[in-house]
Amino acid sequence: MHKFASLLAAGSLALSACAGPAIAAEEPVDAPAATRVAKEAKGLKTAVFAGGCFWGVEGVFSHVKGVKSAVSGFHGGTKASAKYDIVTSGITDHAESVKITYDPAVVRYDQLLRIFFSVVADPTLKNRQGPDVGAHYRSAIVPTNAEQTAVAKAYIAQLGKSGLWKKPIATKIEPYKAFYPAEGYHQDFMANNPKHGYIVRWDAPKVAALKAMFPTMYRASFLKDA
């Protein structure tokens, strides 16, 4: 995308999605360590997480040690509809999502789940997160292999019995379909736009919570995708 067009597109986001009304900020939750620990083979793995606006999801995981890549995009719908303006209209089956590539020798899948439920998304909200409303902002776990599926099912069941939330868990496990990267100006959005109002209000606090709650997993530098 041309640099000027990219700047216009990024600026116009304040008038569309990822820019809802100012309401009470989300509070982090100290989710428990998983009793079902992931047993993953050596080598890089991928997983997809949907937790509201993908800027914050990508921003948090880009600060996690062992994460090698975090790409904002869309999951759940068709290739033809995997465009930001179409997805945010609410007429597709897509969710704003982030595809994570990680090294399980450094950070396990169950640890990524714990971070997700602690500082990224409120699992009791259906079809919304923070100020953003619509099925495309749903929270969902999208495993990419059998081990991740087993771990995710066990962890959601564990959280449901934990008593941490007064409402039932609304986060669903969705089967992996195709993942489509979002437009270029959405990638590394938090790092490229640290003073953006939405980032300051909603997403920077999530990264601060990650640092405070998971100091051994926190990486100060923002992992930027090439």
pLDDT of residue 9: 40
Alpha carbons 44 and 141: distance in angstroms, whole number: 18
pLDDT of residue 4: 25
Q: What is the mean pLDDT of each run of 10 residues along the chain (226 residues)?
A: 33 49 70 98 97 98 98 98 97 98 98 98 96 97 98 97 94 97 97 97 97 98 85
Residue 152 lies in a domain: yes
Residue 31 lies in a domain: no
In Å, what is the CA distance from 191 to each residue of 26, 68, 76, 124?
Answer: 21, 16, 26, 28
Residue 11 lies in a domain: no
The residue to which tokens 């997700």 are assigned: 116
Contacts of 155 (CB under 8 A, 6+ apart): 34, 36, 110, 113, 114, 117
Alpha carbons 118 and 84: distance in angstroms, whole number: 27
Domain count, the chain: 1
Q: Among residues 38, 50, 53, 70, which one is catalytic? A: 53
Q: Using an 8 Å Cβ cutoff, are 206 and 120 in contact?
A: yes
**Which of 21, 115, 99, 17 lies closest to 58, judged by CA?**
99
Model confidence pLDDT, tens digit, residues 4-36:
233 334 444 443 457 654 455 578 999 999 999
Residue 207 lies in a domain: yes
If DSSP codes are grouped into helix, strand and coil, which group holds residue 182?
Answer: coil
For 66, phi then psi, to 5°, come to: 95, -15
Residue 19 lies in a domain: no
pTM for the full model?
0.90
* Token code pair at residue 182: 């979002």
CB-based burial, 164-199: b 16+ in 10 Å, e otherwise: bbeeebbbeebebeebbebbebbbbbbbebeebebb
Query: Residue 192: which domain range?
Result: 41-213
Residue 130 lies in a domain: yes
Residue 29 lies in a domain: no
CA quadruple 64, 65, 66, 67: dihedral sign = positive
The residue to which tokens 């019995």 are assigned: 161
For 133, phi then psi, to 5°, come to: -120, 135
pLDDT of residue 214: 98
What letter would DSSP give residue 25? P
- For residue 173, give the amino acid letter: I
Helix or strand (DSSP H, E) at 143: none
CATH number, domain of 161, equals 3.30.1060.10
Residues β-bridged to residue 142: 48
Assess whether 53 carries a catalytic annotation.
Answer: yes
If DSSP codes are grouped into helix, strand and coil, which group holds residue 133?
Answer: strand
Residue 18 lies in a domain: no
